[in-house]
Amino acid sequence: MPATMPRHRSSRHRPAAGACPAGGRGRRRAGRRRARLLRDLGIRVGDGVGGRGLRLSGGATATRVAVSAPAGAAGATGVGAVGGLLRDLDVSLGASSLALQLTDGEVDGGRFEAAGGTAISVEQAPGLAASRLHGLRASGQTALMVTHGRATVDSALLRGSGQSAVVQVANSNAISGELRAILRQVTIVGDGRSTLQRGVEVRASSSGQHASAKLLDTIVAAVKRPLVRAAAAGDANIVTDHVAHGPLLAGDDPADPSRGTLSETAVLDVDPGFADLAGGDLRLRPGSPLIDAGRPDPLDIDEAATDLAGAARVSDGNGDGVAIRDLGAYESPAVAPPAPPAEPPPGPGEPATPASAPPASPAPAPPAAATPGADRRAPRLARLRLRGGARPRLTGRLDEPGRVTVTIRHGRRVVKTVTVSVRRAGAFTVTLPPRLRPGRYALAVRAADAAGNRSRATALRLLRRAR
């Protein structure tokens, strides 16, 4: 039986989400009231061809929803989302199916599987902000397809099979305009069986089309053709920065500059050193050349602070004392720097220190008396106020010079941490990121002074509405 949305009493809104059996026959709609939250449900697509498990719209949220189909079902769409937030969904469909059709919105976590089909298709309407996808796993003949608009993918594992591209940025229609995908800390893996399989393919087929893909700190592995540009008309562009992939085939990067370019920085053509590629464990094993091999820059303003497993994105994974991003979806745990080498033995003619007479240690100094007037008081925050608008700001007062740190969370994920220096006691202003997506954010505000004293965190709430 397909699951249905709960009925709500208010009659002023149309439904935001609903479920229907395969083929759309016998379709059951949600109640006439808008449901803002759908969670902890199981939905089964019916037998036969076609059908949709869940349609989400109106800015609603779906959390921990599972969508599946029987073995004989084909050509189904698991979830269709027009705006809203999808969190920790589990969608598993069969042949020629589409697990997620994303017209607009945000995806945080989850698994999307379409055996013999497309796992995720981004089909965004013009003029919308880029759809964000973070911390997810997707697998199918094509794991990710961007056909309209823009998409940003962070800390994701994308697996493909057969002869298709694992990631495809292409519009087969005669629609002009920009088509763009940004992939940061993504692991892109094929099955290695076909010589035709592509890792990332960017294609423009009509005049006026501008298709592009930007890969940062990303791995492309187990494919014969890692990067492919094709432009019968328009232009197709690929930009990479600290990306690991194998050698390119000559015909996959056309030489005609009027049809776009391939620009690469810090390419690594090495064995990634996965823990167990055949077994599906795509973490980096200790000693992998891709640990701490990413960009040394601080996290971007809209960059996820956690990896696919929820660990901190930047750590010192090789024990050299410097924390730098790893390549791919997973960040290796921090490793302590090695201990300093022992002193060499004495040379010929040099007296050795007798084992029975170790060097005398200096007498311990008497404990120092507490310095009169030492600063042990934490700084005090007052008059904190959030101001909205295109560039949200936090204002307040600090009773002594120091630093004010604002940590911004969206759900369980840290979106950004902003720190400002306050040179003298009095008023201060913290400018928050202007590109926060619509939604509810939790802010933790804390102050610290030069002596290391820290105030307690003050919690605030920020609501960003769609413009």
Lowest mean pLDDT among 143-157, 286-300, 351-365: 351-365
Distances (CA, A) of 197 to 190, 226, 252, 305, 317: 7, 8, 12, 32, 32
The reported pLDDT for the residue numbered 88 is: 95
pLDDT tens digits along 419-437: 888 888 888 888 888 778 8
Distances (CA, A) of 122 to 172, 296, 410: 14, 30, 22
DSSP track, 373-427 = T---PPP-EEEEEEE-SSS-EEEEEESSSEEEEEEEEETTEEEEEEEEEE-SSEE
Burial, 189: exposed, middle or buried (Cβ in 10 Å; 0-12, 13-18, 19+)? Answer: buried
The reported pLDDT for the residue numbered 4 is: 41
The reported pLDDT for the residue numbered 182 is: 96
Q: Nearest Cα to 137, choosing from 346, 381, 309, 312?
A: 309
From CA 80, how far away is CA 52, in angstroms rounded?
8
From CA 305, how far away is CA 417, in angstroms rounded?
9
Q: Tell me: pLDDT of 453 over 50.
A: yes
Give the best-scoring range by mean pLDDT among 100-104, 252-256, 257-261: 100-104
The amino acid that residue 453 corresponds to is N
Q: Nearest Cα to 115, choosing from 88, 92, 82, 81?
A: 92
Lowest mean pLDDT among 163-177, 202-216, 243-257, 351-365: 351-365
Percent of the chain with pLDDT over 70: 84
Is 219:268 a contact under the CB 8 Å cutoff? no
pLDDT tens digits along 297-325: 888 878 888 999 999 999 999 998 889 99
Q: Tell me: pLDDT of 144 over 50.
A: yes
pTM of the model: 0.69
Q: Tell me: pLDDT of 29 over 80.
A: no
Report CA 64 to chain centroid distance, whole Å: 18
Average confidence score pLDDT of the chain? 83
The reported pLDDT for the residue numbered 436 is: 81
329: left (phi over 0), alpha (psi -120 to 50) or beta: alpha
Is 213:235 a contact under the CB 8 Å cutoff? no
The reported pLDDT for the residue numbered 455 is: 87
The reported pLDDT for the residue numbered 49 is: 65
Structure tokens belonging to residue 254: 């056309």
The reported pLDDT for the residue numbered 48 is: 59
